[in-house]
Amino acid sequence: MQVRERIEQLSDDLTSTERKLSTALLLDYPFAGLEPIQELARATNTSPPSISRFVTKLGFQGFQDFQRHLIGELKQGQRSPVELQAVSAPIHGAFLESFLERAGAVVKDATKAVSEAQFGRISAMLADERRSIYVIGGRMSDTLAQYLSLHLRQIRAKVFHLPSDPEVWPEYLLRMRPRDVLFIFDFRRYQNSLSALAQKAIDKRNVQVILLTDEWLSPISGRASEVLAVPIDSGTLWDSYTGALALVEALVTRIAEENWDHTKTRIEEWDSVRLDFGEHDDD
């Protein structure tokens, strides 16, 4: 179990000092916990003994054990397919059936990672036509970003999928206005360029960032307005985005259905223009 999950499970039983420590740790997770104990005590106006008691309450044998656990989480977030294959669980029996069972488990676990309240908040943000929506993903996860942007464009206007070339990003940053949404997909082997983009969008343009990431948390999570942390480990050499895709499908379906009259009109108008270019309705 991750440190942040242990903190969340004990949130109702924390003292005022422990709540102060947990807030500091979660605001800059996991890096705040990797500071020397004296630095963390000064930053939180607590004491090293208070921190030691807190990490013991979380189930660790001491502050060093606590930090070793955080370092292990960071390493998990950088594992490549080569490293994952070395520890993957072999698939026995019918390969397709067994693989799809694992994918189904990832989707089921994703439902536990996102509350209905958070799902509703994010749906409302993406549906709000006063906001422009900007979407981008990483090397592999940008396919999810494309999927989200293509569906949102059929539901509403002012949806932009950023290209992968950072040289083009200034054009999009200069378009952004306060309260616009930058939706970022960033999974392990996180991309520094996406972190830099998020930081500039928040600091210079006052944009709200929604992050879809994994349980080890992209560095962007420390600045994001909303963080969706879904499972991706299926026990194979490839991380599974099945849960993330199901979540994206749920978002666009809810937005479309809750604004159906507007969505229906836009799809009909969209199709009338698309079909003028000789496209057939075969998707």
| pLDDT (tens digit per residue) in 150-197 | 999 999 999 999 999 999 999 999 999 999 999 999 998 889 999 999
- Long-range contacts of 81-86, Cβ-Cβ distance < 8 Å, separation of 24 or more: 81/237, 81/238, 82/237, 84/236, 84/237, 84/238, 84/239, 85/236, 85/237
* 176 in Cβ contact with 134 (< 8 Å): yes
Strand partners, 210: 183, 226
Position 279 confidence tier, pLDDT thresholds 50, 70, 90: low
DSSP 56: H
Q: What is the DSSP string of 70-96?
A: HHHHHHHTT--HHHHHHHPPPP-SSHH
**Rounded mean pLDDT of 119-126?**
95
Mean pLDDT, all residues of the chain: 85
pLDDT at residue number 83:
45
Query: Picking from 66-70, 135-139, 210-214, which range would have the lowest pLDDT averaged per residue?
Result: 66-70
**Between these two residues, 279 and 220, which has the higher pLDDT value?**
220
- Examine the pLDDT at 236 and tell me if it is beyond 70: no
* 148 in Cβ contact with 135 (< 8 Å): yes
- Going along the chain from its start, the domains and CATH numbers come out as 3-76 (1.10.10.10), 101-275 (3.40.50.10490)
Position 80 confidence tier, pLDDT thresholds 50, 70, 90: low
Position 84 confidence tier, pLDDT thresholds 50, 70, 90: very low
* 246 in Cβ contact with 107 (< 8 Å): yes
**Rounded mean pLDDT of 195-202?**
96
Question: What six digits make up the tokens of 2?
Answer: 């991750």
pTM over 0.85: no
Report the candidate in 128, 231, 154 with the shortest Cα–Cα distance to residue 188: 231
- Examine the pLDDT at 231 and tell me if it is beyond 50: yes
Q: What is the DSSP string of 192-246?
A: HHHHHHHHHHHHHH-PEEEEEEETT--GGGGT-SEEEEE----SSSSPP-HHHHH
Position 237 confidence tier, pLDDT thresholds 50, 70, 90: low
pLDDT at residue number 10:
85
pLDDT at residue number 81:
53
